[in-house]
Structure 1
Amino acid sequence: MSMIFVARGMAVALGALFMSGIAHATPEQDRAAVAALDTEYQAAVERNDAEAMARILHPEMILVVGRGQVFTREDLLRSAREEEFFYEHQVEEEGTQTVRLYGDDTAIVTALLWLKGTGPQGPFDRRLWFSDTYVRTPEGWRYAFGQASINLPPPS
């Protein structure tokens, strides 16, 4: 009977440890989770899926683009809800995504992004580099800060 009590106590303690956020996944698992989440985010933008974007974006998220303009989480969600842009492509170029971990709770994704579609200024087809910073929260990884380059010149 005392062994059952000890086993239950250990199970409760381990459960509390995992739920408290003290125990984390391995670095490889974190990199894979963040890579998948960033790919999922790009797909949500391409579909103008504000609900999926809201689930991934940190409440205080901002995006700074190459020309210096700053967009908040709400700006991005409004744009998706209003379908301000229609995307044929909003995808990371295959093989360019890298996820770097900094401590247990910060990850930065860099990749080359291809955007093609139409928007308020007409059609666009551009490639740019971006860095997306993810932070671990009690709810899981969230996209907290993004920075995007200006449109890259066409390949020579």
Structure 2
Amino acid sequence: MPSLTRKAETFSALVLEVFQLNGLLLQAGDRLSAPAGLTSARWQVLGVIDHGPATVAAVARTMGLARQSVQQTADALAKEGFVEYVDNPHHQRAKCVSLTAAGRRALRKVEQAHAAWADRLGASIAPALLAAAVEGVREARLRLEKDLGVEARPHEG
């Protein structure tokens, strides 16, 4: 294995931490969303379309996922009554995914659980350290998007 520079080692350590954090966040998200009949993936899709109906392709781009996986999630959500497919005024064939009242109720339930969880965990980390972590990860994401030549995705922050 080729030897890495100190900068490469540090960046690689960040990548590994983010991979581990992602797995734990998905596990925590599943626990937070289960009482509302959701999973992390379903919660994420509902969160995207909470801002308004969107095509599966647009949801996938926003989430940085494959369209096929989002299609499967949207279809499952529709089958369970959390979303519905509605006409897209901009495209005849590509329907938009829209929240139903049941989907909105489930999303609000998860958001309440998330708020309490985030407050508890956020309070356990020094504010300056947390802010620096956010800024560092954001900068790494921006550099990676540029390096990959991908269009920057919208992120709240």
TM-score (norm 1): 0.29
Relative to its length, the structure with more helix (as a share) is 2
Relative to its length, the structure with more strand (as a share) is 1
TM-score (norm 2): 0.29
Higher-Rg structure is 1
